[in-house]
Structure 1
């Protein structure tokens, strides 16, 4: 138990702020998963799950006796990431035609699909902001915190689900999450995660261009793709 405790508590101190190694390693796995996702590799999902588990322990912060503030939305989304990642893992494995083939054919969500996920996101943000307010009652937080954390939570789940479905939209959703996530993480001194979110923002733009080009290039083959990717 002593070794596990030492590993759990291991951290760096930079500028007077403690940074857990779990945060650094978890974000490294997250970046590797994002690269795999852009390349449409099935291994992106299990790699991402490892990062989610590590970051879950980080973002609970003081709730588990760690360093930093307890970001409830950031912590809760790691749990849902694991669930959605298991779905995406199984889906990409089933849609891959050969072991070396890309797992999905990227496509834009249909108007019906996009309307449904935007409505669900709006309802989800309102509900989660209220829920996080109740959970965090008594914890001194700025007025914007619960809404921002609710969007990060809902938007992240939406982006992961859209990635599992092979929708090009998921890159744009991730960009919207990053634009909120970076300022929040800097404010609460989660600097490795803030840096990674900033890196993600540039990476997301790149990934969006890659998937958009692939979607256009493989469009002639999509007379069968909606059945496979969107079934």
Structure 2
């Protein structure tokens, strides 16, 4: 969701660097790439691991509290494939690393223009549907979303032949490396829609992606739909 459907990743970067700037630190894209898509606390722990010389009083909870109470910036929505797919009757579900309260804050004002097409089919890491520590890049969130909200018999590990076949019918859109890994581990088709900064980083360093499929105007043909009208999804 973050960075893919809405531009909240930009806001997270600005607020985080304002917080870290008090200590002369900065979250670069090299660091940010590794925490995108992860559940909130895991992402915070990953971030702070790069700055071991921060004051002992600056804990994960300190960072998260300051981030939540930071400046309020307008969250803009992007032009996603979700509305196109919804118009063509393709069942949709949202599998996000955002806590439920954060999802509500970020999506409430965009229900009519964007999130309404999911019709409440949303999985958040604190919904009690995922085991602790099983957020992205683990495949669980996509499997739960497909099984619970879309009625697909995708099963759990180890999956049988029929379950693997059903998983292969799924199409995941992701902007984060962890999300791409989760989708691939779930046995689904994955379309990577990276931020230009992440794409530039991946071009210079080897990333743990088994396959990289950048989203283009012809992407809907993967699910036998007419091509998207307008520019590529970026």
When you count helix as a share of all residues, which structure comes out higher?
1
- TM-score, normalization by structure 1: 0.29
